[in-house]
Amino acid sequence: MLYREAGQFKTSYSADQAMLTIPLDRWFVFALAAFATVGVPLLASEYLMVSILIPVLILSIAALGLNILTGYCGQLSLGTGAFMAAGAYLAYKIATNITWLPIWVVIPLAGLCAAAIGIAFGLPSLRIKGFYLAVATLAAQFFLLWLFVKVPWFVNNSISGVPPAPPRSVFGFQVTGAAAGNEAKYLFVLAFVIALAWIARNMARSRIGRSWMAIRDMDIAAELVGIRPLPTKLSAFAVSSFYCGVAGALWAMCYINTVEPTAFDINRSFQVLFMVIVGGLGSVLGSFLGAAFIFLLPIFLNSAPGWIGYSVASDTITHIEFMLFGVLIIFFLIVEPHGLARLWQIAKEKLRLWPFPY
Amino acid sequence: METLYLIFIDPFVQMVVEPAFLVEVLIGGLTSGVMYSLVALGFVLIFKASGIFNFAQGIFVLFAALNFVGLMDLGVHPILAFIITIGIMTALAFAVDRLVLRPLVNQDPIILFMATIGIAFFLEGFGETLWGGDVRPVRVGIPDAALFWQLGFGEILVQSADLFAGVIAAFLVTVLALFFHFTPVGRALRAVADDHQAALSVGIPLNNIWVIVWAVAGFVALAAGIMWGAKLGVQFALSTIALKALPVLILGGFTSIPGAIIGGLIVGAGEKLFENYWGVPLLEGATEDWFAYIVAMIFLFFRPQGLFGEKIIERV
């Protein structure tokens, strides 16, 4: 970077415990948050905001959730889509039945419901691990989606089964549903993203995060040093499902504006898993980078041939996309298992010494 | 009371009153179970030999079938197409070993598992790019006729293709069992499965063995793909159906070939029975989507190693 840590001393315990210990880092993050809050709504075009920023931000929350479970606690989950669906359907149910409840309470509540479901499906994790657990989470994926499609109670007996998101407001601005303003939606999502990322970052470096990582690195050893596996694993499932549930609720309320099962099928689970792998297992920053990368890659592939005056059939693009995803996953697992986040770190370290090699 | 009656008594009454329907449902379930078994067999082969959980096995089935059908559509004789496809699957095994497994040697199983998810995605896109995404029927002369069997309690309808699939599966399992027990390569494979290091120390070349295992799994995938294709047409939905092999493995155990077969039959028959006697009357149907997974999950609580698997012992 353009600055060095040298000479930046910490003089108090609170400075030592700060999330970002270097003042320049801190200012950079504050500036970024401020820009995202003030600058982006003023500058960004409607397309950029609605079709790119909002979905990327929401998927980052889901990726954060899966990263907590897979990256920090080492429990592989293929049921992310189902937990997102749980958040979406329950947010709809709560919002339409308890109409006086403000929407910014509804969405975390839906996340809590998703967390409860996550705990139920996480129970087998005590006895099994690795791909055994992957199958248990696949059970969640198929069973929950079937449940939400087949039980009309979740959508208030809507005839189509795909009800529109109920319009709700915060501070007088409508933030959910099709009629909501783009800026309002964006800021609403952004508020959740900032809060959840901050919480995740702090959890990762506190007692609970350390116990997750101990379980991930070697569960028996962790047990021997006094970390109880059941509460630790289940808390990872709960927190992860909470994040996924919030992401699903926002996805339904603020992005696609309907509550529909196809948005949360198994492909969504894989998409989020890829975000986590490409972004970096066990990294908060990686969740954001991965979400942006995996979401933008297909868009780039779709429009890139057009820029060089060459047209490709859209199904060919889809096939190439599949191949690229596959290759990228393998590439990242082999070359850089810690993903884009690690690449960013390496780049920072190189820049710090630049122009000298060491 | 009404619901309890519908859950606990009515289905069994139905089974006794209409045994012909019960037998038909069972046969339908067992034949789809055979397909699950064949996919699961490929999983077990690879898992036993290399400890890798190959998520891409379902796509292998699809990819093999796609190549086979694609070649036949180009006018290649079925037998020649079969041989070429085996060649392709062997080449694939070689490529997977060199490009994916070799660089990831000594990584966590979970990393390798995720790498196979990558392989699955790559092959799905690659297969579609090569041969297109349409549903293709397989015509290899598998007799497809409806047979009516006269049993003591009534007449039942059986598809001859299903019977054929069952025979092929039985044949394949026998061949594999013989291969594993009576050939040098088979013995080497079992040795590697038992203990990598011991196998290495008596001079078994581990690298070749892994390629062979993946190629054998590719061959099993081809057989499964052809039969599946003959029944449903070769289409990309096959890859999601193939995911059902995962609960089959949990039921049967990850390391047991008989377990894969029996697990597949149990899952196939179980989900059809559940769908017809409980799912449709009580739960509005489509329970086949999740039944196997939920059974597997419940099973995991009580017997994580599966019916025939080796007991999981953890050492620090």
Which pLDDT tens digit goes with each residue over A233-292? 899 999 999 999 999 999 988 888 888 888 888 888 988 998 898 888 888 888 999 999
B141: Cβ–Cβ under 8 A, 6 or more apart, which residues? B78
Q: What percent of chain A has pLDDT over 70?
A: 97
Rounded Cα distance between A17 and B72, Å, is 67
Environment class of A337 (CB within 10 Å of its CB; exposed 0-12, middle 13-18, buried 19+) = middle
Count the Cβ atoms, other than its own, within 10 Å of residue B215: 20
Distances from the Cα of B118 to the Cα of A186, B113, B123, angstroms = 33, 9, 9
Separation CA A79–CA A241 (nearest Å):
10
Q: Are A275 and A59 in contact (CB under 8 A)?
A: yes
Q: Which residue has the higher pLDDT, A110 or B191?
A: A110
Residue A65 has what pLDDT? 93
More confident call, B130 vs B281: B130
Contact B304 A128 (CB under 8 A): yes
How far is Cα of residue B60 from the mean position of the Cα atoms in its chain? Answer: 10
pLDDT at residue number A2:
61
Identify the closest residue of chain A to B121 by CA–CA distance: A326
Please give the full DSSP string across B73-100, using - where no structure is assigned.
HTT--HHHHHHHHHHHHHHHHHHHIIII
Q: What pLDDT, on the 0 to 100 scale, is given for residue B237?
A: 66
pLDDT at A181: 78
Sign of CA dihedral A314, A320, A322, A324: negative
The pLDDT value given to residue B153: 64
Range in A8-17, B135-144, B163-172, B214-223 with the lowest mean pLDDT: B135-144
Q: Tell me which amino acid residue B113 is.
A: F
B155 pLDDT exceeds 70? no
A145: chain B residues, CB-CB within 8 Å: 289
**C-alpha triplet A85, A88, A91: angle, nearest 5°:** 145
Shortest CA gap A95–chain B (Å): 27
Alpha-carbon radius of gyration of chain B: 21
Cis peptide before B19 (omega within 30 of 0): no
Q: Six-digit token pair at A157?
A: 């007996």
Phi and psi of B309, rounded to 5°?
A: -75, 165
Candidates A121, A150, A330; nearest CB to B119: A330
Q: Note whether B290 contacts A74, CB cutoff 8 Å.
A: no
DSSP 3-state of B250: helix
Query: Checking phi first, is residue A270 left (phi over 0); if not, alpha (psi -120 to 50) or beta?
Result: alpha
- Partners of B304 on chain A (C-beta within 8 Å) are 127-128, 132
Check residue A238 and give its pLDDT.
Answer: 93
What is the predicted pLDDT for the residue at A248?
Answer: 93
Determine the Cα–Cα distance for residues A310 and A324; give it in Å rounded to an integer.
19
DSSP for A148-170?
HHH-GGGGTT-SSS-PBPPP-EE
Residue B168: per-residue pLDDT? 77
- Among A338, A236, A248, which Cα is nearest to A289's? A338
B110, B305, B316: which to substitute to probe chain A, counting the most A Cβ within 10 Å? B110
Q: How many angstroms away from the CA of B313 is the closest CA of chain A?
A: 12
CA distance A16 to chain B (A): 34
Higher pLDDT, B254 or A215: A215
Share of chain B above pLDDT 90, in %: 1
pLDDT for residue B143: 63
Q: How many CB pairs under 8 A join A and B?
A: 140
State the pLDDT confidence band at B154, using cuts at 50, 70 and 90.
Answer: low
The predicted structure's pLDDT at residue B146: 66
User: Quick one: pLDDT at residue A135?
Assistant: 80
The runs of H, that is alpha helices, within chain A are: 13-17, 23-34, 40-43, 46-47, 54-66, 80-97, 103-122, 131-150, 182-204, 207-217, 219-224, 229-250, 266-279, 284-307, 314-335, 339-353
Q: Could you say which of A135, A326, A337 has the minimum Cβ distance to residue B293?
A: A135
Q: What is the pLDDT of residue B65?
A: 85
Which mean pLDDT values do the consecutive 10-residue runs of chain A (358 residues) have?
Answer: 70 82 81 85 81 90 92 87 92 87 89 92 76 81 86 78 79 76 85 92 90 89 89 91 93 86 86 88 88 87 75 76 86 83 85 76
Select from A220, A316, A325 the Cβ nearest to the Cβ of B314: A220
Q: In the prediction, which pLDDT does A63 show? A: 93
CA distance B29 to A139: 20
d(CA B234, CA B238): 7
Residue B315's pLDDT band (cuts 50, 70, 90)? low
